[in-house]
Amino acid sequence: MLGLGDVNIPRILPVGAILLELLFLLLAIPIEAYVLNQRLKFDKKTSIFYAISINLFSSTVGWIIFFILEPILPIGLKAELISYVFFHNFISPTTQSLMIFTAFIIFFITFFMKFIFLRIFVISLKEDVLKIYEKTPENNRLKWRRNSIVRLQSTNLVTTILIANSLSYSAISIVILLIRK
């Protein structure tokens, strides 16, 4: 009909997981926008734009990675995953330690993705600054100063994304703990 070939559409839609992801995004975006506004001195509109962009892109990439990895999981882990997604509990008590380890891995992968996406957005939206630098004559002192500023901005960007990601993950963890009780 749509030219999708032999695509199987699931009969059960995990509405709870979809709504929970939406809640996490609605929780993370304002927290990260506030941190971007305070630490990087973006105006509110720009910081909200960057927060929405990096969260939506990293969430989309995360779901794509999940859907790629899910078919190759062992049957036991698939059963645990389905049990957690649909019923919010684990079959085996040893799965919680694996879940905590996986959460740490996901945190750092998300941090790295958000940093890369924010870096790409900042660079791609500042094209005029690069053109100005290309037209000015180069001297060693100016080149050293520009490289110092870029290194400082990069370090500031890393710490800002780390703080923003940590705060949003902390808020999401609190929500998950409140849901479980």
pLDDT digits (tens, 9 = 90+) for 83-103: 877 777 777 878 778 888 888
Q: Is the pLDDT of residue 2 over 60?
A: no
* pLDDT of 181 above 70: no
pLDDT for 146? 53
Q: Give the residue with greater pLDDT, 17 vs 164.
A: 164
Tokens of 46: 């720009």
**What pTM does this model have?**
0.74
% of the chain exceeding 90 in pLDDT: 31
Give the span between the Cα atoms of 140 and 6, in whole angstroms.
61
Looking at residue 114, its pLDDT comes to: 92
Query: Side chain identity at 5, as an amino acid letter?
Result: G
Please give the average per-residue pLDDT across 45-66, as a whole number: 92
pLDDT, greater one: 165 or 140: 165
What tokens were used for 66? 């999940």
The residues, ordered by sequence, that sit 6+ positions from 145 with a Cβ below 8 Å of its Cβ are none
* Residue that is written with structure tokens 């892109």 in the block: 57
Say how far apart CA 107 and CA 113 lie, in whole Å. 10
112-49-56 Cα angle (round to 5)? 50
- Between 55-64, 73-82, 102-111, 142-151, the lowest mean confidence (pLDDT) is in 142-151
Rounded CA-CA distance 122/140 in Å is: 25
Residues 96/103, Cβ–Cβ less than 8 Å:
no
User: What is the rounded average pLDDT for all residues in the chain?
Assistant: 79
Distances, alpha carbon 103 to alpha carbons 7, 14, 53, 98, 178, in Å: 30, 20, 22, 9, 17
Kindly tell me if the per-residue pLDDT of 147 is higher than 80.
Answer: no
The dihedral through the CA atoms of 61, 66, 72, 73 has a sign that is positive
Q: Would you say residue 4 has pLDDT above 50? A: yes
91, amino acid identity: I
36-50, 65-79, 120-134, range with the lowest pLDDT: 120-134
CB 36 within 8 A of CB 160: yes
Sorting pLDDT into bands at 50, 70 and 90, what band is 176?
confident
Confidence of residue 135 (pLDDT cuts 50, 70, 90): very low
